[in-house]
Every structure is written in structure tokens, then in C-alpha cells.
Structure 1
Amino acid sequence: MSSPSATLTVWAGSWLAGDSAPDDVIDALHQWAPMHIVGASDAATAQSTGLDWPGVQDGAGPLLLRIVRQGTAPAGAEVRLVLPAPGDVRGLPAGTGFARAALDAGEGVIVGETGHPGTGLVPVIEGPDVLRWTVFPIATVPPAADYTGLGEAEYAMREAIRGAADALLRLSSVQTGRADGDPRRRIAEALDDRAHHRYPDTIPTRALRILDSADQVATILAVAEDDSPTEAPSASSAAASEELLRPLWAAVRSARVAAVSACAGSAHRA
């Protein structure tokens, strides 16, 4: 699993469909941190969601499930993953506190029905073993972003694996003085760490393949960035590196959202 927001979206969707128990969702979230806390972004949101104000509450798993259940009560409501990045804010409600927080975090979850008030959830690392979820109001849930379908996403990931390998070769061609060895070993270790995050048994096979491929591409790209020269690059080389990696990261985000959306489905399947 690539992020806490993806974990919540996939497992909450499975729970709402009746395929997973609440404890399954909570156990999956705890793979990210032993302690989760939750707080509202403002007093009005705290009142509408039953959270304390001011401050935060422990036991975020049951609280998050309650918020998800409340937000998906209307017909047509859903739990939706967003993975924004600078220059790519697809799916965010413009000009909101949730949009700003999700962009800073690079992830978030939208709960609600398109065109109606909803709720946004953004996780942020609070400490070595603590993940904090902030609950935001969304005045009007925007339409889902126009991401690729599963077939196109799977093809894009096959192409991206080759592109990421090429980027790793090109960006690590300059000696950086790293003392921690072969990038292939670091890629394998990172992928092994991600393998500890479980998916529901009912996840579509194609979606699982896409998510695994996206994890592989993202890990290669992260190592490529880490292996790029430590000395300050020229403006032209920095721009070339950005031009090389940006479309690959965008493909990873699109593939992940497409696959997670297929896993989560409509919250009203239950």
C-alpha cells in the first residue's frame, strides 16, 4: 500500500461493501503507525462530526470509520482517494483548507456525494510512531478527477517501469559518494517494506497488479532521485531531471487513483 490515505480508501470501501470487518480496517491503518489521532480543522467541523474541540482524540480508527459511515449515508456517496502534487491538483475542491492540506501532504481522502457537502481527511506524520488525521469540511464535493481506466493504467505502468529504470541509470551515472551500496538492494528493501501492507481479499486482480507495478515504479524513481548528484546541479541539469521524472510520477499517481477507485467502488454497494 502506497499511503495511509490509500489504505483507508481501499479498506473502508471493503468494509462498507460488507467484505471486511471494522477491525480489519483498523489493523491495516496501524501498519502505518501504532498510534493514530484525529482532530477537526475547526470548531464547526468538530461539532458536525462529534469530535472534541480543541485538541485531538486517540483511537482514530473507530472515529474515522464513524466519519466515513456518516459521509457515505446518502445514495451516490463514495470514499475517494486524491494524490495531488504541485501542478497536478485534479480532484481537489479549489480554494479549501482541505485542498491546501492535501497538497502539502501529497494525499487525502474525500468522503461524500458529488455536488453536495462532504468531508476531507488528511494524514500527517506527527511523530516517530504517531499519525494525525485532520478532518476538513468540503462545501461542495467536486466531480471525480478524470483519471485513466484500468486497462490504460496497466499499460502505462508497463511503460513506466522501463522509463523509471532508464531514469535510474541516467540520474545515478554521476558518482554521488553514497555509502549504502547497490541501488537494486535499496529498491528490493523498499518494496519488501511495502509488502507488509495488506489488501482486502476481494481486491480485483488487475487493480492489484497495477498497484504493485506503481509501487515498483515509485520506488525506482525515489532511488533515482536519491542517487542524483549531491553537488548543486546547474539550472539546465535540474530542469532536465525534473522533465525526466515529472511525467513518470504523474503516471504513478494516475494509476494508483484508478486502481484504488476500482477497489473502493461505490460506498453504497453495502
Structure 2
Amino acid sequence: MPCPSATMVVWASAWLHGAAASDDVLDALQVWAEAHEVRTAEDELASRLDLPGPEDSPAGPALLLAALRKAGAARGELVLPVAGDVRGLDGSTEFSRAALHRGEAVVLADAGLGLVPRQPDPAAEGILRWTVFELDDLPPAEHLPIGEAEHGMASAMREAASTLTDLDIAKRRPGVRNEIAETVSSRPNPSWPEDVPQRPLRILQRASEVEAILWAATDDAPGGALSASATRARTDALRPLFDSVRAARRSAIAEMVRVLADRAEQH
């Protein structure tokens, strides 16, 4: 699904390149929570960035933007780690563990910083806290061209549909199309800078639709549960499609950041 880290990557990168005002960034984050808080993971990093430490009262996101600029950040990268695929993370670190637990994070490689959002307390609705981590050595950044990502998602969807049909576990149930549409429409609809091209926006929309189909395909109706072997076969068939959705999202966000940075540098 769309995530706060994607919003932060695009809007913070736009702001760092002078393509958006700080108020635009703060407004864009509002779709995820009414209030955003910021703390660092370590006191030493807090001192260097002029941000609250782990035991201090949190600051607002405006101070985070100032800290990113002070640290020399230029553009962010979205990472969407899952067990078995931790590309973009920095090994067995506190940041990597937090990012993997959340399933998303922002990497600002040029500043050596990572950001992970989380709800600080299950009872604290409307609050999202960003923890700032200092990164260890990162692996070389992977670049997946947006066209290749789009093609990969389409190919994975065809292969998954064919495999599920061959396994005779492609199921139908009344109202599933409405379920998928409701799933897509119920998710937050983040805004993007005006200069963002349409292609990555279409890919993000398609990724959301495909993901909704995936969750519907793995949600067994009452009385319709599959055998253990059929469930494993279905999981194996759908895993590449889940992976391709994440790859398409990362590529679409990276393309947004690239276009915004290039246009800013031309002016």
C-alpha cells in the first residue's frame, strides 16, 4: 500500500532541491497523521543534527527538514524491506531492524541518515513518529528502470494467474471485485508535487490495485480454506508478484525524485 516513507522521500527531496516549500511537505504528510514527531535514535546524532534525542520531547517535522539540509542530504530513496529481501539496508543494524519491522524506510545515502516512521503508542491515534538513524556503510544503490519495473509487474501477474489456474486454486467468490475496489479506495491518497510525471503515478496506482487483488487472493472465505499444500503452492506462486509490486513502487518513487531533481537543476 502507499506509505508515509514514500511521501517523505518525494516531498523532502523536492524541498531540498527548491521545488517545494516546507509547508507543502508538512501538508503532504498530513494524510498519514495529524501530528508528526521526530527523535533521533542516539544522543550523539541528536547533538550533531540539533534534534531531540531518544529520551527528549519530540520535535516537529519542520526541524527534521532543517536537519536534513544541515546534514547535506540531497535526495531520498524508498526502501520496502521484507524477510528475505532487505535490499537498500545497511546490514544488521538498529536501523535495518526497525525498517524491516515496519516494512518501509527512507534512506538518505548522501547524508548517511535513515528515517523510520511508526506509531509511538497503539493508543495514540493521529500521531506518527519518525526516528532518525545514522547509517553504516550502505550497499551500492540499485537502479531499476521504471519501464522494466512496470513490465516486471505485468509479467509476474500473468505468471501468477496462470500458475494458480494450473494448480486449480484460483478461486472466485461473489463480490470480490467490490472488495478490491473498496480496499483501494479506503487507503490514504497522498498528494504529489505538480511537476511529477504521470507515468510513475500510473504505476503507483496500478501497484495499489494489484496489491489489493493479491490480498483478496490470499484471504480465504469462511469454509473455503485451502489445504496446507495448496496454501504453500499459492504462496509460492504469488510471492514474485508481491516482490514485483514493491519493486514497481520503489522505481516509481525513484523516478519522481530524479525528475524533480533534474528539473530543479535546470532552473
Question: What TM-score results when the alignment is normalised by the length of structure 1?
Answer: 0.83
Give structure 1 stretches of 5+ with no counterpart: 176-180
Cα separation, partners in 2 of 1:6 and 1:213, compared to 1, 3 Å: same
Report 1:181-196 matches (<5 A): 182-194=175-187, 196=189
> How far 1:66 sits from its partner (Å)?
1.9
Residues 1:104 and 2:101 are matched in the alignment: yes
Q: Deviations over 1:71-130 (max 9, x none)?
A: 335xxx5311111111111111112111111011110001132xxx61110011233211
Give structure 2 stretches of 5+ with no counterpart: none
Cross-structure match for 1:57: 58
> How far 1:69 sits from its partner (Å)?
1.8
Q: Deviations over 1:149-188 (max 9, x none)?
A: 111112223334556767999767388xxxxx72222221
In structure 1, give the amino acid aligned to 2:48: S
Q: Do 1:157 and 1:213's aligned partners in 2 also have CA atoms closer than 8 Å?
A: no
Q: Do 1:37 and 1:131's aligned partners in 2 also have CA atoms closer than 8 Å?
A: yes
- Between 229-238 and 214-223, report the one with greater CA deviation: 229-238
Distance 2:69 2:77 in 1: 13
The sequence identity of aligned pairs, in percent, is 42
> How far 1:197 sits from its partner (Å)?
1.5
Q: Any runs of at least 4 consecutive aligned residues in structure 1 with deviations exceeding 4 A, and if so which? A: 160-172, 228-234, 266-270
Q: Do 1:123 and 1:133's aligned partners in 2 also have CA atoms closer than 8 Å?
A: yes
> How far 1:68 sits from its partner (Å)?
2.6
Cα separation, partners in 2 of 1:231 and 1:188, compared to 1, 3 Å: closer
Cα separation, partners in 2 of 1:30 and 1:234, compared to 1, 3 Å: same
Q: Do 1:172 and 1:229's aligned partners in 2 also have CA atoms closer than 8 Å?
A: no
Distance 2:223 2:24 in 1: 43
Report 1:34-183 matches (<5 A): 34-53=34-53, 54-59=55-60, 61-73=61-73, 77-113=74-110, 118-126=112-120, 127-144=124-141, 146-162=142-158, 173=171, 182-183=175-176
- The two structures, once aligned, show a CA RMSD in angstroms of 2.8
> How far 1:247 sits from its partner (Å)?
0.5
Distance 1:167 1:186 in 2: 23
In structure 1, give the amino acid aligned to 2:196: I
Distance 1:258 1:4 in 2: 16
**3-state SS of 1:57 partner:** coil
**3-state SS of 2:207 partner:** helix
**3-state SS of 2:76 partner:** strand
**3-state SS of 1:87 partner:** coil
Cross-structure match for 1:11: 11
Question: What TM-score results when the alignment is normalised by the length of structure 2?
Answer: 0.84
Residues 1:238 and 2:231 are matched in the alignment: yes
Cross-structure match for 1:178: none
